[in-house]
Chains A and B, each alone.
Chain A
Amino acid sequence: MASDETTTPLGRWLARGDDEQDLWGRLVPGPSVDDVARRLSAVPRSFLEPGLSLRSLVGDVLDDLAPDPLGQLAGPARRAADVAGEIDESGHDAARRGAAVALWTWASQDELGPAEPRLLTRSADRVLAALAWRLAPVVDPRVWLADAERRDEAARSLLFWGGQLPAGEDAATARALLEARDSLRRDQSLSQALAEQQHRLEVMRRLREARAREAAARPGHE
């Protein structure tokens, strides 16, 4: 990927190399899409203020990943803080709002009562990156709040990249519904970049598989 592409929102997302295919096979039960969507729509105005420091907010919100007595963040919170810092520094307003909405959704479990099961934060960095770099640049988070279908997409994205399956759905159903709503896939040039990234991951995974490493008998040196 050219260097200028790594500084675009989608370039930043693709550079992470998160493996969507693999994640679909590892989801654990989560709350319903409706529950998450309700939480999204209740985001306080303060979370969307332009001057908010996302990095600081991570330390406040991820209280189940609280700092140790020496003030060091746990691994997942530290990774999330790094992503939040990157979003802070990017100056990309939509990305900032996307990450802030995700942080609110976790914070809402203290404000509005816990989700059942609880929303997981162990992959908070991936969720922040997905909502900030993958979704927000295509659909502004303000639209998530105003449009039910886009809110549904944001809720499903948050659950999926957080490693959770929506309550009441199996993986095949959840995948079909998320892909049907996926704004990135509906944009032709962006979806092509996404397809290339998935191709890259698939080729490398196959090359590293033990089945591939058995190789095939070659007749000689070339």
Chain B
Amino acid sequence: MSAPAPGAADPGAPDPDAPDPLDLDEYVPGTSVALTDDERWPTLTPEGRDRLLRLRDHPAAPAWVHRTGDRLTAEGVERSRTPLPLAGWLDEHLATARRLPAYRRSDLPLDRLDQWPFTTRDDLVDDVSAFVPLDADLDLMVQGSSSGSTGRALLIPDHVEEVARTFHLYVSLVRDLGVDWRPDPDRMALAHVVHQRQAFTYASVLSGFGQATTARVNLHPGQWGAPGRRAAFFADQRPQVVSGSPTSLAELLQPDLAGLLRPLALFSGATALSAPLRADLEAAFDCPVIDVYGLHETRPIAVSSDGGPHVVLDRRLVVEVVDPAGAAVAPGERGEIVVTAGENPLLPLVRYRTGDFARLVDVDGRPALADHEGRDPTVFAHGDGSLVPCIDLTQHLQAARCRGWSVHQDRGGAVRAVVVGGDAEMVRSRLGALLGRPVDVRRVPTLLDLGEGKPRRYVSEATAS
């Protein structure tokens, strides 16, 4: 199916003059643009620029919300291709951590790892700078963010070379499965797909991978206008590898995409990948499906390429599993995953409580996480029968400045939201519009009012199978 010509009237496109009650300012295209292309890709070649412009201006592409480059210098490109050495890393990591403002006044001995206190997401939300080394090179810092389990957004200091190194980790994971993933100038190297009503999207170039293209693409039908446009875009880009959450990857199985995509591999992350979906993806695309477990704060921790336990990556990581009191559980027993993570020099974490649960087991002599309970992949039922992923609700609950929440949909579809702080009226109107049905909102004063421990933020009995 052909794409509409640039500038042509698109009968399927939303009316650009109609105000959308669910628009969030941060998703207005170009809101955060601050750099030139030369700053985004300091080593960009004429060929790389041509590829970038073809992608950016592709007639079937949706409007890119954001502009993003990898910021790598030639030296940075080389450094990021090489995994960080592992010999002696933990001693060095703990020495760095002892000098952090977060630990400088500690009365604990902090010699061995098991003497360190746990770190929580709330610690980072309260003052992430206390976990950034005083001598860190802040010129290499960019901002990441995480919506997290309690709803309080966290700004995370990302290091440009570490972000690029994670891409090369993905490449090595694919190659380790015997798949020869190399740059192909005629194909997009990596499509990171999301499926949200609104999302950050961008077209970019991978400086350290033949200056092949990459993009963060929103599969949500509302982003594409005319039917067929989404398929036309993907048919032309032919991404070598696609990454996304299970909800997003499931969208690839839609008839308009399933027949034309020929990925070398798929990466799943963010929430648990169910065995049926894995099987469907493997059958549809005849390629490896690699499920990545990690957090933005810690980076990738473990992967499963066969549906079995997630094998802990051979990186600067120590994984522990602890009981509610913080003591190590017996081998093979279930507990909370705690991670010491040393890949991001701007955020050297020690004993970070993930809020996720698993059993630590042995797979071919390597530590692995079994029966992992991932984060919440809940979808809600819209009044018209369509499905709404919980991330869409998160965006609007955060826009209404709620510090935490719990949203419950019963079998009949009725929705009740309990929010901590924020503008209850705004929540009522935004979630009502999003879900196409009235939403009952109750405001409570503290997170504890949502329940002990790590409350489930979303439950939908209407969509539970």
User: Which A residues lie at the B interface, using CB under 8 A?
Assistant: 2, 192, 195-196, 199-200, 202-204, 206-222
Please tell me if the beta carbons of B269 and A214 are within 8 angstroms of each other in the complex. Answer: no
Contacts of A204 in B (CB 8 A): 129, 155
Please tell me if the beta carbons of A210 and B138 are within 8 angstroms of each other in the complex. Answer: no
Q: Say how far B353's CB is from chain A's closest CB, in angstroms.
A: 16
The distance in angstroms between the C-alpha atoms of A55 and B4, with both chains bound, is 70
Contacts of A2 in B (CB 8 A): 105
The distance in angstroms between the C-alpha atoms of A222 and B214, with both chains bound, is 17
Q: Does B144 contact A (CB under 8 A)?
A: yes
| Contacts of B288-327 to chain A: CB distance below 8 A | 292, 294-296, 298-301
Contacts of B138 in A (CB 8 A): 202-203, 206
| Contacts of B101-156 to chain A: CB distance below 8 A | 101, 104-105, 127-130, 132, 134, 138, 141-144, 155
- Check A219/B267 contact, CB under 8 A, given A196-B134, A212-B141: yes
Q: Does B9 contact A (CB under 8 A)?
A: no
- Further contacts, 9 of them, CB under 8 A, given A200-B101, A222-B292: A203-B138, A206-B138, A208-B143, A210-B33, A210-B34, A216-B70, A216-B71, A216-B160, A220-B292
Contacts of B105 in A (CB 8 A): 2
Contacts of B267 in A (CB 8 A): 219-220
Please tell me if the beta carbons of B34 and A214 are within 8 angstroms of each other in the complex. Answer: yes
Q: Which of A203, A217, A219, A222 contacts B68 (CB 8 A)?
A: A217
Please tell me if the beta carbons of B294 and A214 are within 8 angstroms of each other in the complex. Answer: no
The distance in angstroms between the C-alpha atoms of A217 and B212, with both chains bound, is 13
The distance in angstroms between the C-alpha atoms of A217 and B167, with both chains bound, is 9
Please tell me if the beta carbons of A215 and B143 are within 8 angstroms of each other in the complex. Answer: yes
Q: Say how far A142's CB is from chain B's closest CB, in angstroms.
A: 31
The distance in angstroms between the C-alpha atoms of A215 and B245, with both chains bound, is 20
- Check A217/B157 contact, CB under 8 A, given A211-B34, A212-B142, A222-B295: no
Contacts of B40 in A (CB 8 A): 214
Please tell me if the beta carbons of B270 and A221 are within 8 angstroms of each other in the complex. Answer: yes
Please tell me if the beta carbons of A199 and B129 are within 8 angstroms of each other in the complex. Answer: yes
Please tell me if the beta carbons of B32 and A219 are within 8 angstroms of each other in the complex. Answer: no
- Check A219/B170 contact, CB under 8 A, given A214-B40, A214-B66: yes
Contacts of B141 in A (CB 8 A): 203, 206-207, 212
Q: Which of A211, A215, A219, A221 contacts B158 (CB 8 A)?
A: A215
The proximity string for B residues 66-79 relative to A, scoring 1 for CB distances below 8 Å and 0 otherwise, is: 11111100000000
Among all A-B residue pairs, the 8 with the closest Cβ atoms: A222-B294, A220-B243, A221-B269, A221-B270, A210-B34, A203-B129, A212-B143, A200-B129
The proximity string for B residues 33-69 relative to A, scoring 1 for CB distances below 8 Å and 0 otherwise, is: 1110000100000000000000000000000001111
> Which chain A residue lies CB-closest to B271?
A221
Q: Does B202 contact A (CB under 8 A)?
A: yes
Q: Say how far A83's CB is from chain B's closest CB, in angstroms.
A: 24
Q: Say how far B260's CB is from chain A's closest CB, in angstroms.
A: 21
Q: Say how far A7's CB is from chain B's closest CB, in angstroms.
A: 16
- Check A216/B292 contact, CB under 8 A, given A199-B134, A203-B132: no
Please tell me if the beta carbons of B101 and A219 are within 8 angstroms of each other in the complex. Answer: no
The distance in angstroms between the C-alpha atoms of A206 and B143, with both chains bound, is 8
Q: Say how far B55's CB is from chain A's closest CB, in angstroms.
A: 12
Contacts of B130 in A (CB 8 A): 196, 200
The proximity string for B residues 151-180 relative to A, scoring 1 for CB distances below 8 Å and 0 otherwise, is: 000010110100110110010000000000
Please tell me if the beta carbons of B157 and A203 are within 8 angstroms of each other in the complex. Answer: yes
Please tell me if the beta carbons of B163 and A220 are within 8 angstroms of each other in the complex. Answer: no
> Which chain B residue lies CB-closest to A196?
B101
Q: Does B372 contact A (CB under 8 A)?
A: no
> Which chain B residue lies CB-closest to A220?
B243
Please tell me if the beta carbons of B69 and A222 are within 8 angstroms of each other in the complex. Answer: no
The distance in angstroms between the C-alpha atoms of A216 and B66, with both chains bound, is 11
The distance in angstroms between the C-alpha atoms of A220 and B333, with both chains bound, is 30
Q: Does B240 contact A (CB under 8 A)?
A: no
- Check A203/B34 contact, CB under 8 A, given A196-B134, A220-B267: no
Q: Say how far A219's CB is from chain B's closest CB, in angstroms.
A: 4
Q: Does B348 contact A (CB under 8 A)?
A: no
Please tell me if the beta carbons of A217 and B216 are within 8 angstroms of each other in the complex. Answer: yes
The distance in angstroms between the C-alpha atoms of A196 and B269, with both chains bound, is 35
The proximity string for B residues 182-194 relative to A, scoring 1 for CB distances below 8 Å and 0 otherwise, is: 0000000010100
Q: Say how far B243's CB is from chain A's closest CB, in angstroms.
A: 3
Q: Say how far A10's CB is from chain B's closest CB, in angstroms.
A: 14
The distance in angstroms between the C-alpha atoms of A213 and B34, with both chains bound, is 8
Contacts of B295 in A (CB 8 A): 222
Q: Say how far A97's CB is from chain B's closest CB, in angstroms.
A: 30
Contacts of B223 in A (CB 8 A): none
Which has the most chain A C-beta neighbours within 10 Å: B129, B155, B157, B206?
Answer: B129
The distance in angstroms between the C-alpha atoms of A213 and B300, with both chains bound, is 22
Which has the most chain B C-beta neighbours within 10 Å: A196, A215, A220?
Answer: A220
The distance in angstroms between the C-alpha atoms of A72 and B215, with both chains bound, is 57
Contacts of B157 in A (CB 8 A): 203, 206-207
> Which chain B residue lies CB-closest to A199?
B134
> Which chain A residue lies CB-closest to B134?
A199
Q: Say how far B108's CB is from chain A's closest CB, in angstroms.
A: 14
Q: List 13 A-B contacts (CB under 8 A).
A: A195-B134, A196-B104, A200-B101, A200-B130, A203-B132, A204-B155, A214-B67, A214-B142, A217-B192, A218-B144, A218-B166, A220-B269, A222-B295
Q: Say how far A113's CB is from chain B's closest CB, in angstroms.
A: 46
The distance in angstroms between the C-alpha atoms of A85 and B103, with both chains bound, is 34
Contacts of B128 in A (CB 8 A): 203, 207
Please tell me if the beta carbons of B35 and A214 are within 8 angstroms of each other in the complex. Answer: yes
Please tell me if the beta carbons of A219 and B142 are within 8 angstroms of each other in the complex. Answer: no
Q: Which of B33, B69, B142, B192 contacts A220 (CB 8 A)?
A: B192
